[in-house]
Amino acid sequence: MAEYDEETRLVLDAFESFIDEEIAPIAADLGDRLTDPRLGREQDGRPDETVVEAVETVRRRAADAGFYAMNLPEPVGGGVSKLTWYAVKKAAAAHDCPLAGRALAGPEGPKPLLLDATDDQHDQYVEPVLAGEQSTAFAQTEPGAGSDSPGMATTAHKEGDEWVIDGHKQWITNAPFADFVQVFARTSPAEEGRYDGITCFIVERDEFELTGVNNAIGLGGWQGELAFDDVRVPETRVLGEVGNAFRSAMAFLSLGRLELGAEAVGTAERLLDSGFSYARDREAFGRPIGDFQQVSAALARGKARTYAADAAGKRCARRLDAGERAVEDTSIFKWFATNALWETADSVLQTHGATGLAEGSEFANALARARVLRVVEGTDEIQLNTIAKENGL
Ligand SMILES: Cc1cc2nc3c(=O)[nH]c(=O)nc-3n(C[C@H](O)[C@H](O)[C@H](O)COP(=O)(O)OP(=O)(O)OC[C@H]3O[C@@H](n4cnc5c(N)ncnc54)[C@H](O)[C@@H]3O)c2cc1C
């Protein structure tokens, strides 16, 4: 059976050529600044101007070339299948160019939630994001509520024809750089419906305060803390329906899990190439270390886990393409793929001995990133809860 349909193969080939020809040279100019957590940083840990500018250039070029937001529906410039999106997300992570992933929309870019925009909002906010000219952020998590996001304390209430927003958010990807953020706030008490009564607002950069940068392991520094203190926005800033933002965001949960799992699989595939190659070349006790069964079995286990994760990812993508919810499938995939990466990165790092431990090595970065992937977009435990719930527990 062919791994991918023809359209996916064509898009994949074009994407890989685009990364080789247009994006890899930008990354090469920056050298270790993109991969060594001690370089390319401001004092507070956020990426410095050179790194941010490079990321912005990649975004604009990818948007011009039609790759950046190709997962969105056709009327907004996209239209590829979920399987194609899975394939390119995976390929970006498998590529050794550290900027490849930036060519595809992430939390800073056009996500399905933005399709709830009115025509005016679309022209003013969404179009510049689709073009890669501006960036955004999706602000749900806050100090007292992460996994349990409906427990949020941020509120918004109506005064005349304005909404008044008060609260704090943290760990919000791209918050330090976003031109506007999509902020989730409770607009009616939880007692009236825990999953209702949450509304999303568009809040512009000069209307909120950036109170800190959150530095996660694995080349972090892209996350920020936000304060909303009596922030007043007009009614025209409500994104989607009042009270429906949580349900709207939940509708796209499976897609987010597919994307993170794809990143995990692609990263594991790249690491395994290095691991097998190093095990063939590196000698100890007069023979290649791959001759030692403990080394070869660890890599073989990584290969088997990654192979199984990839098969699960493709199955999830096909089910989403068929219009299925795929809630259990994508939870299984996200949990399995990110844990497969965690174990594989650990084995490949171990295979490289001290070299693998060097700060900024691709193995150390991948291990840290794997750890991050097991928390974001639903933690390990939340995925397992979902699987259990889908099976009647
Ligand atoms: C790099 C990074 C990027 C992020 N980007 C964004 C972003 O763009 N926007 C955004 O809104 N948020 C973002 N987040 C936040 C992320 O979504 C939350 O960290 C995540 O949802 C977990 O929430 P928490 O950290 O508050 O942990 P908690 O929810 O407090 O969980 C703590 C621990 O308790 C466990 N736990 C909680 N509830 C249960 C349960 N019911 N059953 C079993 N175990 C449970 C969790 O699994 C976890 O192990 C980001 C975080 C990171 C690290």
- Boundary-marking domain end, from 105, 125, 159: 105
**220 phi/psi in degrees, rounded to 5:** -75, -155
Cα gap 66→193, rounded to integer Å: 41
Q: Which of 35-39, 147-151, 202-206 has the lowest mean pLDDT?
A: 35-39
107 lines ligand 1 (CB under 6 A): yes
Query: In angstroms, rounded to a whole number, what is the distance separating the alpha carbons of residues 238 and 251?
Result: 18
Q: Are residues 283 and 224 in the same domain?
A: no
Q: What is the pLDDT of residue 1?
A: 64
Q: What is the pLDDT of residues 307-321, one digit of tens each?
A: 999 999 999 999 999
**Which pLDDT band, with edges at 50, 70 and 90, does 74 fall under?**
confident
The reported pLDDT for the residue numbered 126 is 95
- Atom 14, ligand 1: residue with shortest CA distance: 171
CB of 253 sitting under 6 A from ligand 1: no
381 pocket-lining for ligand 1 (C-beta < 6 Å): yes
Neighbours of 374 (CB within 10 A): 21
- Testing ligand 1's pocket by substitution, the residue of 141, 335, 384 carrying the most ligand atoms inside 8 A of its CB is 141
**Residue-number span of the structural domain to which 223 is assigned:** 136-248
Q: From the CA of 170, how far away is ligand 1's center (Å)?
A: 11
Give the pLDDT band of residue 73 (cuts 50, 70, 90): confident
Q: For residues 222 and 352, state if they share a domain.
A: no
Ligand 1 center from residue 381 Cα (angstroms): 10
User: Is residue 300 in some structural domain?
Assistant: yes
Furthest-apart CA atoms within the chain: distance in Å: 80
Question: Last residue of a domain, which of 202, 226, 248?
Answer: 248
pLDDT in tens, 86-113: 999 999 999 999 999 999 999 999 988 8
| Terminal CA-CA length for the chain | 36
| Cα 185 to averaged position of ligand 1 atoms, centre (Å) | 17
Q: Say how far apart CA 90 and CA 12 lie, in whole Å.
A: 10
Q: What does the DSSP 8-state code read for residue 151? A: G
Atom of ligand 1 nearest to the CA of 173: 8
Are 298 and 365 found together in one domain?
A: yes
Q: Decide: 147 in ligand 1 pocket, CB within 6 A.
A: yes
* Residues 274 and 357 grouped into a single domain: yes
- 241 & 265 share domain: no
- Do 197 and 264 share a domain, yes or no? no
C-alpha dist (Å) from residue 315 to 78, 99, 320: 22, 27, 9
Ligand 1 atom 9 nearest Cα: 172
pLDDT digits (tens, 9 = 90+) for 344-359: 999 999 999 999 999 9
Q: For residues 375 and 230, what is the distance between their CA atoms, to the nearest angstrom? A: 31
Both 256 and 191 in one domain: the answer is: no
CATH code, domain with 326 = 1.20.140.10
The count of structural domains within the chain is: 3
- Place 220 in a pLDDT band, splitting at 50, 70 and 90: confident
Asked whether residue 258 is assigned to any structural domain, the reply reads yes
Ligand 1 and 138: CB distance under 6 A: yes
* Structure-block tokens of residue 369: 């990133």
Mean pLDDT of the chain: 96
- pLDDT of the residue at 76: 82
Rounded-to-integer distance, Cα 259 and Cα 261, Å: 5
Protein residue closest via CA to atom 36 of ligand 1: 381
Residues 83 and 151 in one domain: no
